[in-house]
Structure 1
Amino acid sequence: MNQNWRGTVVRHLLVLVTGCLLLGLISGYYAWALVLGLALYLGWTLRQLLRLHQWLKQHQPEEPPPDGHGLWGEVFDSIYHLQRRDMRVRARLQAVIDRVQESTAALRDAVIMLDTDGNLEWWNRAAEKLLGLQSPQDNGQPVSNLVRHPRFKEYFERGHFHEPLELPSPVNDRLRLQLQITRYGNHEHLMLVRDVTRVHQLEQMRKDFVANVSHELRTPLTVIAGYLETLLDNVEDVTPRWQRPLQQMQQQAMRMQSLLNDLLLLAKLEATDYPSDNQPVKVAMLLQTIRNDARALSGERHPIVLEADPEVWLKGSETELRSAFSNLVFNGVKYSPEGGEIRIRWWGDEQGAHLSVQDHGLGIEARHLPRLTERFYRVDSSRASNTGGTGLGLAIAKHVLLRHRGRLDIHSEPGRGSTFTCHFSSQQRAPH
């Protein structure tokens, strides 16, 4: 209320009080005159309140307010203008919402909005096609009741949405979906679902090709390696000038066999999501065996220190874990200068179980770290050739960790060595 209306109200009250005093002067009853005047004013005010209440309760959006005088006329007009402004704002917001819904409805990817508990709030038409959601009966239902795959339930409950999840579609097993969840607002969830069937098929074709070629090359390579071994066993019957070529041929044949074995192992790891032999593994004893093998590989040229907690066990495949852990330890031996210490540590805490392999080798530049676990990626091809590496060791280690709900962290500085750390979730620890 502005200053003018305040003055008007004061003047009206002064006129009322003056009239009541004049009436009291004439009648001789000042008190009753004031009571009567104030009662009339109160009754008029209550009547205006009732008119306002009735109009607010029953009026249509475009219906003007009732006629009023003085202060109440200003109140009626102010409320009416506020309502009109609110209607315009709501119309603009509704237009924005409609445009957002129209744009998301045109997407080929599914968009699903979930509340803090994972219940469905809204989805576009693509979600009905890819996930089989139905409106309105699925509204408010937990998303885990509609996407029943065990990996999705585990993925949602863990709450770590840094990496997307690939699953078959619940409405069509031939469709392969990629799910990505993002938190927003007050811990609500936005789930994006994409059809990656074509990409998955191409990836599967690549895996099948590598596995088939590796399998087919294994037999002729075994024959070649066998004949080379026979010739070298009878080297005295061979012309001396052929001795060195035969040794080099045998060395390269062994290297090719190692490469094929790694390719076949990698194809086997990619074929399934979880190890078939998921049993408690005594990691401390496993690391003791790997350290002995690393000492033999090193030829006692590197001190290898092992600190392992025997009370920390892991659920999984001992064969696969041996392959992953030995790759990390053997790399430390291969790429460390003579006398460089390799330190192996295995421990557990409230976050889970952890393995670190630290060497004091040449180190790796930061630009190479993101690509170290790619197949055939080598920091220095000449150095890899000298050590006989296949470029698949870290790729195998990464896949083994993924199958055991783990991840690999790499920290390295040129000239100061490298540290490879495997982290396993607390759910992966095995009781004993």
Structure 2
Amino acid sequence: MRPWSHELWRLGLLAAAGALFGWLLGAPGLGLAAGLALRLAYHLQQLHALRRWLARNPHSEPPAATGLWGELFDRLYRYQKGQRHTQHRLQATLKRIQESSEAMRDSVVMLDQHGDLEWWNSAAERMLGLKAAHDRGQHITNLVRDPRFVAYFNARDYREPLTLPSPVDERMVLQFQITLYGDDERLVMARDITRLHRLEEMRRDFVANVSHELRTPLTVLAGYLETYVTYAEQLPPRLAQGLSRMQEQTTRMQNLVNDLLLLSRLEIDRGGEDHLPLAMATLLEEVRRDAEALAAGRQQIRVELEEKRRLLGSDSEIHSALSNLASNAVRYTPEGSHIVLRWKPHPKGACLEVEDDGEGIDPVHIPRLTERFYRVDKGRSSESGGTGLGLAIVKHVLLRHDAYLEIESHPGQGALFRCVFPASRLMATELATG
């Protein structure tokens, strides 16, 4: 018989016995009430025993009882044992996670949904200067106060890592990566990349120095070649035959050196000194004229202005980035293609677009297009005269203007290169039309 049915049976017998006893005394109702009161007193006694058990130590053996209360005590005890087992298992897992995090060389910091510090490993104490006694519960931006980190943290766009010096040792360079998880909580990881940073600085210095040293001999060589080409008719045919080819390759080498020097300057110099509101109509028209000269009538190039605000930035750098995109469109689209230079609004601010209806690019290449010297079609790119650094220059120019590059393309459907600038880079002044 089930405990509940058994309890009802007992209650019914006790009520019947009470009523019979009361009937014998001439008060059946009073006897029934007395029988029910006895059963109620028993239940109150078991409730009191349950309260004492839970208040004293629920991990101990439960009170002895039979029937419905016995089953209730047993179930509660088994449930608590299961919960204790699960709790111990979770504590062991958490301990292993903490131990493994402690063994990591990278800093690991756990933040709650408000950005306050909950837990961190010992590497975070060494790299970020966190102290368990004082910093728990503090907001992360109260401890890592670099404006670039604060802007990165508040932007909530963590697709790319952030590189900054350590707040406790400027000689140490850290790479921050933030990950969202759970209920809007965040995991902040910081890796010591000091050695890689120094190697990268050595590479930049080497490229800049070599490019600078090549500039002078190339200039001398180009000058003599120009002179020889002028008097090519007076030279023996065997000597004059290769002059134009030599001049072409010298010019290409000069362009490569100039692009390397520009890229080195963009990487080393933080910029910002020459940022002014730019007349976008004038800038796009200048780029269009340069692109038309390069196209020599093979493509049709037009300008579209849909945004009335100016862009706050460096005229030379934005001109260089847009020129690289436009010249790429000219070089890599067939004759008869249409190329559009466009300045238009964007949900995040505004954007510069260079769109063509050429052969397009396989999406598999798009993630690597901004790498130095990466070429989709090596043979065709060499014939086009490009240096392979154009999109790398575009990427670094945009980084210096708080912007980013989007590329949309499919084979046979043309290509769209979009430079997206934030609203903070836009000025309300209307564009010049000259």
What is the TM-score of this pair, normalised by structure 1?
A: 0.91
Once the two structures are superposed, the pairs formed by residues 169-188 of structure 1 within 5 Å of their partners are 169-188=166-185
CA distance, structure 2, for counterparts of residue 394 and residue 20 of structure 1? 97
Pair 1:86-2:83 in alignment: yes
The equivalent position to 2:285 in structure 1, one of 288, 297, 311, is: 288
Equivalent pair of 1:324/1:397 in contact (CA under 8 Å): yes
CA separation in 2, counterparts of 1:341 and 1:320?
Answer: 25
Q: Which one is further off, 174-183 or 257-266?
A: 174-183
**Deviation readout 1:340-373 (Å, 9 max, x if unpaired):** 2212221013322122212243433444333222
Specify which of 244, 256, 260 is matched with residue 259 of structure 1.
Answer: 256
**Structure 1 position 174, deviation (Å):** 1.6
Deviations 1:279-326 (A, max 9, x none): 222222211111122222223343211101351322221111000001
| Cα distance change on mapping 1:367 and 1:85 into 2, 3 Å | closer
Distance 1:15 1:397, change over 3 A: same
* Partner Cα distance (2:203, 2:56) in 1: 70
Unpaired runs of at least 5, structure 1: none
Q: Which position in structure 1 is the counterpart of 2:432?
A: none
Q: Which amino acid is 1:11 matched to?
A: W
* 8 Å Cα contact 2:307/2:345 also seen in 1: no
Give distance in 1, aligned partners of 2:28 and 2:307.
101
1:35 to partner: Cα distance: 2.6
Report what 2:223 is aligned to. 226
Q: For this pair of structures, how many residues does the alignment match?
A: 429
Distance 1:276 1:365 in 2: 39
Does the 8 Å contact 1:116/1:186 carry over to 2? yes
For the 8 Å contact 1:364–1:417, the answer to whether it is kept is yes
> How many angstroms does 1:142 deviate by?
1.4
Aligned residue type for 1:419: L
Q: CA deviation at 1:273?
A: 4.4
For the residue of structure 1 that corresponds to 2:167, the secondary structure is coil
Q: What residue in structure 1 maps to residue 117 of structure 2?
A: 120
**Corresponding position of 2:354:** 357
CA RMSD, 1 decimal: 2.3
Q: After TM superposition, give the deviation of residue 99 of structure 1 in Å.
A: 1.3
Are 1:298 and 2:295 counterparts?
A: yes
How much has 1:333 moved relative to structure 2? 1.9
Aligned partner of 2:329 in structure 1 is 332
Q: Which residue of 1 aligns with 2:18?
A: 20
Aligned residue number for residue 35 of structure 1: 33
Q: 1:80 to 1:369 in 2, by over 3 A?
A: closer
Q: Which stretch shows the higher mean deviation, 146-155 or 217-226?
A: 217-226
Farther-moved stretch of structure 1 (320-329 vs 371-380): 371-380
Once the two structures are TM-superposed, the CA of residue 274 in structure 1 deviates from its matched residue by: 4.9
Cα separation, partners in 2 of 1:72 and 1:361, compared to 1, 3 Å: closer
Once structures 1 and 2 are overlaid, which stretch shifts more, 364-373 or 185-194?
364-373
Say whether residues 1:156 and 2:153 are aligned partners. Answer: yes
Contact 1:166 1:176 in 2 (8 A): yes
Comparing 320-329 and 236-245, the one that deviates more:
236-245
Moved more, 249-258 or 69-78: 69-78
Q: Label 1:29 to 1:310 Cα distance change in 2 as closer, same or farther (>3 A).
A: closer
- Aligned counterparts of 1:84 and 1:418: Cα–Cα separation in 2: 64
Query: Structure 1: how far apart are the matches of 2:25 and 2:36?
Result: 17
Would you identify which runs of 4 or more consecutive aligned residues in structure 1 move more than 6 Å?
A: none
Secondary structure of 1:108's match?
A: coil
Partner residue, 2:423: 426
**Conservation of the 8 A alpha-carbon contact between 1:372 and 1:378:** yes
Q: How does 1:229-244 map to 2 (within 5 A)?
A: 229-233=226-230, 238-239=235-236, 241-244=238-241
More displaced stretch, 22-31 vs 388-397: 22-31
Q: Counterparts in 2 of 1:187-206, with a 5 A limit?
A: 187-206=184-203
Extract unaligned runs of 5+ from structure 2. Answer: 430-434
Residue 57 (structure 1) aligned to one of 31, 42, 55: 55
User: 1:302–1:341: 8 Å Cα contact kept in structure 2?
Assistant: yes
Give the C-alpha shift of residue 146 in structure 1: 1.4
Q: Which residue of 2 aligns with 1:214?
A: 211
Query: CA 1:122/1:242 → structure 2, altered by over 3 Å: closer, same or farther?
Result: same
Q: Is the 8 A contact 2:23 2:31 kept in 1?
A: no
How far off is 1:69 after superposition?
Answer: 4.2
Counterpart secondary structure, 1:431? strand
Decide whether the 8 Å contact of 1:312 with 1:347 is kept in 2.
Answer: no
Q: By how many angstroms is 1:425 displaced?
A: 2.5
Identical aligned residues as a percent: 50
* Contact persistence 1:181–1:189 (CA under 8 A): yes
Query: Secondary structure at the residue paired with 2:375?
Result: coil
Equivalent position of 2:92 in the other structure? 95
Flag the 1:382–1:28 CA change in 2: closer, same or farther, 3 A. Answer: closer
